Structure 1
Amino acid sequence: MRKLILLPAIVLLIASSALVNKPEEKATIKWLTLEEAYKLNQKNPKKIFVDVYTNWCGWCKRMDRDTFQDAKVAEFVNENFYAVKLNAESQDKISIGQDTTTSQMMARSMGVSGYPTIVYIKEDFKTIQAVPGYQKPDAFLDTLEKVLAWK
């Protein structure tokens, strides 16, 4: 009889500990295409940052994993910027206003020659600056705060 009473208690204990020790959800940046950011910017102007990457770039993958999934970074970006991913080697078409180009040509026009490179764009869609290289979360947040203050 005691075994029958203990079994439900053990099951309840295991189930409740699973709820308490629930793994944290990873922070995520709301990534957009350049076209989506452009359209959103027409209605609600914000600065834009473009993560220019390639599929073979190890530092790009590390920045995706370490920097862009940092909770503070994701929260700050989602509140203050439109975030765009741009594959510098892609031939995918991009249409901004009346202009059509490819992702590869857009990366070149932004002056990108190394990866990863973050390109910061003002609300009027003019480039502020391209910043090449991997950035740790704290350094990236510092840069984002400075860009946000840029007029």
Structure 2
Amino acid sequence: MKNRNLIIIMISLLTIISCENSYAEIRWEKNLATAIKKAKSKNLPIMIDIYTDWCSWCKELDKNTYSNEEVIETAKKMVSVKLNPENSEEGEEIARKYGVQGYPTILFINADGFVLENVGGYVEGEKFVPYMKNAIDKLGKINVILSSKEPSLEKLDLYMESGNETEATKIFNDLLGKKSIPDEAMPKYLLGFGLIRAQQSDYDGANSYFDRIIKEYPKSEEVYMAHYYKAVGMILSGDTDKPKKYLENLIKNSNIPNNIKTQYQTLLSYINED
């Protein structure tokens, strides 16, 4: 009888330990569709860990960051999912949509795809928590902005930050028609649309926005970035001579600040190295 009771106690103890361990980790959903459905029903942010099997820092993230107690506790306030672009169509689509360039990349989005936070690379333990908390806070702000059906600059900024060109264009045109976009803010939005197009590898489309900034807003701060990204687009299109001459002419321009010329020279050096 004593032996039997001892066995029952041991089994109960193992069960308790097992349950505690099962909760002492982040619960990862099996796919993004399930994560989105759960996030939408509970109004929670989504944490997407974009990784690959060969990525050593991804393994360090699992080992040192996702095992951190505060990270685990904070993750209870969001829906988590892991995606591998190399063996998952969902992962491949997300990596392409959000322009993922390296691994690991941790995206925090809401159920409609708005980017709340973007972490590129390995972040250890408790240093990861502020990113998580910022995503949670930003979700609340987004909910307030989207609760209004009226177009606004805040809503425009939101859609542009998330790379949603379709919705951003609708709001932009609506606000433009109502003359609700300050003229000094125009270069910022044109640059934003250009970068969205560039991310889609539509360099001609991107340059149409950059050229408009250069032509219509030559005294704006954004004009320097428009020149820079126009040159980058030329390079990514496979050209070297054209962006080289373009940058050389910019560097000779006495109206361009020296700190900006330094950026142009760095890009020119990259071309010359190749």
Query: What is the TM-score with the length of structure 2 in the denominator?
Result: 0.41
Partner of 2:83: 86
Q: Which structure shows the higher strand fraction? A: 1
Once residues 59 and 29 of structure 1 are traced to their aligned partners in structure 2, the CA distance between those partners, rounded to angstroms, is 18
Q: Radius of gyration: which is bigger?
A: 2
More helix by share: 2
Deviation of 1:123 (Å): 4.1
> C-alpha distance in 1, partners of 2:40/2:135?
20
Work out which of the residue numbers 89, 99, 104 in structure 2 matches 1:116: 104
| Structure 2 CA distance for partners of 1:47 and 1:25, relative to 1, 3 Å | same
User: Gaps spanning 5+ residues in structure 2: where?
Assistant: 1-5, 7-12, 142-274
Among residues 35, 58, 61, which one is paired with 1:60 in the alignment? 58
Structure 1 residues 17-51: Cα deviation after superposition (integer angstroms, max 9, x where no partner): xx8xx8x8472101012111111123211011100
Does the residue aligned with 1:42 lie in a helix, a strand or coil?
helix
SS in 2 for 1:104: helix
Task: Say which structure, 1 or 2, has more relative contact order (CA 8 Å, 6+ apart).
Answer: 1
Gap runs ≥5 in structure 1 = 1-11, 13-18, 95-102
Which residue is equivalent to 2:67? Answer: 69
Secondary structure of residue in 1 paired with 2:82: strand
Residues 48-88 of structure 1: CA deviation (Å, up to 9, x unaligned): 1100000000000000011001122112102x110110102
Correspondent of 2:32 among 9, 21, 34: 34
| Contact kept? 2:36, 2:111, Cα under 8 Å | no
Q: What is the aligned-residue identity percentage?
A: 36
Matched, 1:49 2:47: yes
Moved over 3 A (4+): none
| Alpha carbons 2:65, 2:128 under 8 Å: kept | yes
Superposed displacement of residue 148, structure 1: 1.3
Aligned residues: 125
**Equivalent residue, structure 2, for 1:126:** 114
8 Å CA contact 1:112–1:130 kept in 2: the answer is no
The separation in 1 between residues aligned to 2:100 and 2:65, in whole angstroms, is 20
- Structure 1 pair 87/73, CA: closer, same or farther in 2 (3 Å)? same
